[in-house]
Structure 1
Amino acid sequence: MKIIASLVLYRHRYQDIKQTLSSLLNEESISKVVIVDNGAHCGWLSEFSHAKLETITLQVNKGFGAGHNTVFDRYAHEAQFVLICNPDIFFAVGEIDKLYRFGLDNAVGLSIPKVVYPDGSLQHGCKLLPSPYQLFVRRFMSRSAGPVNNDYELRQADYSRPFFAPSLSGCFMLISQQVLRDIHGFDPRFFMYLEDVDFSRRVCTTAHSVKYCPDALVVHESQRRSYIDLRFMCYHIISAIRYFNKWGWFFDRQRRQLNRRCLTELPLSSLPDL
């Protein structure tokens, strides 16, 4: 198999993911789509069938990363790549075929495509590894976070060219079988938020290549729930504490090294960020 796509749901209706599911099932390079029903709330799945579709029902919701880990454990050995896809993503036919070819031709272990909002504006899915100050300013001082965001989100990068970044967005990740064999998926201590930062970072410490792919394009209807829902904000804060407890709050030599490598190699855009 070329790609197995992993889609984790929690209380989603069919209408919520219809566009995402259609995009995944219509892509030639995606051999199988595995839906994880986190918490067993998506009863409609019992009535939906497709030759490419398989489902896993988990009675207890242990989080985003843990849901995808179930797919890794059961299916990763069957395919060259596993695709992590959020349920609010859609794309044109052929876009993932481009991402697959990019990963194969360049021996890339972890990659993401160009991600845009529905209005076509760029989502900065490639970032530096965060410091506590950057996350605090972005979350609680957003009006004055411009200069911090510009650096952290690599807004000076030329997104028409491939490049290395130490943190890639977990909304849409293509991960090689070899990467999953070596680093064993997401850290289940992160229920939601920063599990993608932690995952990207761990891949960067191996010999596997980590790259942004400019050839493929997906649309992400990002909901940014931690900015409007207190419960999700708490998830975000707890994950940040766990992340910095794991990697270091203020003395993080590896973070500096990986960020420096990114900034040194980064292709710069000649156009102002809009």
Structure 2
Amino acid sequence: MGKMIISSSIVLYKNNETVLKAAISSFLKITFPDVILYLIDNSPTDELRDIFDDSRVIYIHNPSNPGFGAGHNIALKSAIQQGSKYHLILNPDVYYAEGVLEELTDYLEKNTDIGNIMPKVLYPNNEIQRLCKLLPTPYDWIGRRFNPFKKMVEKRNDLFELRFTGYDRIMDVPYLSGCFMYLRISALNEIGLFDEGIFMYGEETDLCRRLIDAGYRTVFYPRVHIYHHFEKGSHKSWRLTKIGMQSAIYYFNKWGWFFDRKRRLINKDILRKINSKK
């Protein structure tokens, strides 16, 4: 295969050290010889500086806290300069077994039209997380949360979160979770990095959409899995709720609110492909 640099970045903010160490260890178990892990610490202090002693780890303290996507962009810019071929956007609350990244890398090597790939995501108790989604409408991101009619919400979730698929097959998905984004660097060179106008929540949606617009596939690959602690912070904090609302407004101002023809076409095409493979 020759020399192939694999890089990753984790954006930190006052993280639980035990949980964070599991994420770091998961990536560093990779068998490829040329790897780099960036820890971009947006915390006010650098208490996490010495959390892991490994020559492959680069720690950058960034207390200005410009946001999730902006933090990862610091790492991505460096990874591009270093000649990285693939880059993993990794949440600090994710962990996984050996071999996961190797299998995903092999699949990317064989399918050069894929710009982003995500494995099956499980809770620590092995329940599945429904993180495959269609491109969102304003109702999906704003209305669902405040809809008191649970049956109506569940019906929409079945479609929006592609629950009807069973999450048991490889499929193109236009909106994949930002907890684990395995990205092709050459695709990012073409479309650009995360939109720093989004502080947090929705930056992965925007990036997936730009990949699709450029002709790349964004793929769910359930043959390997990861574990994600996954706490919906935006549902527990009004501050994070406000940030989520601001991100949604930014996203829909950019791509369109109710009259987004491209969104309809992309979602329709995805559903057609999924249903044709039943």
User: Please, what TM-score do these two structures have when normalized by structure 1?
Assistant: 0.93
2:154 corresponding residue in structure 1:
146
Partner SS state of residue 45, structure 2: coil
Aligned positions of 1:222-261 closer than 5 A: 222-261=230-269
Alignment RMSD (CA, Å): 1.8
2:120 to 114, 129, 134: 114
1:5 corresponding residue in structure 2:
8
2:63 corresponding residue in structure 1:
59
8 Å contact kept, 1:89–1:218: yes
Partner SS state of residue 66, structure 1: helix
1:172 corresponding residue in structure 2:
180
Measured at CA, do residues 222 and 13 of structure 1 come closer, stay the same or move farther in structure 2, by a change above 3 Å? closer
Equivalent position amino acid for 1:67 in 2:
G
Q: CA deviation at 1:100?
A: 1.2
1:189 corresponding residue in structure 2:
197
Once the two structures are superposed, residues 46-82 of structure 1 have per-residue CA deviations (whole angstroms, 9 ceiling, x without a partner) of: 4642022111221310100000011111112421100
2:132 to 126, 136, 147: 126
Partner SS state of residue 210, structure 1: strand
For structure 1, which segment, 101-110 or 83-92, has the greater mean C-alpha deviation from structure 2 after superposition? 101-110
Equivalent position amino acid for 1:187 in 2:
D
Equivalent position amino acid for 2:10 in 1:
L
Q: Does 1:70 align with 2:74?
A: yes
2:98 to 93, 96, 105: 93
Measured in 2, the distance between the counterparts of 1:160 and 1:265 equals: 15
Equivalent position amino acid for 2:218 in 1:
V
Once the two structures are superposed, residues 94-118 of structure 1 have per-residue CA deviations (whole angstroms, 9 ceiling, x without a partner) of: 1111111111111221111111111
Once the two structures are superposed, residues 209-258 of structure 1 have per-residue CA deviations (whole angstroms, 9 ceiling, x without a partner) of: 22111222100110101111111111111111111111111100110011
Q: CA deviation at 1:119?
A: 1.4
Number of matched residues?
270
Q: Does 1:79 align with 2:87?
A: no
Partner SS state of residue 62, structure 1: coil
Partner SS state of residue 112, structure 1: strand
2:29 corresponding residue in structure 1:
26
8 Å contact kept, 2:89–2:179: yes
8 Å contact kept, 1:102–1:213: no
Measured at CA, do residues 93 and 105 of structure 1 come closer, stay the same or move farther in structure 2, by a change above 3 Å? same
> Structure 2: which 5+ runs fail to align?
none
Quick one: percent identity of the two aligned structures? 35
For structure 1, which segment, 261-270 or 157-166, has the greater mean C-alpha deviation from structure 2 after superposition? 261-270
User: Please, what TM-score do these two structures have when normalized by structure 2?
Assistant: 0.91
8 Å contact kept, 2:17–2:51: no
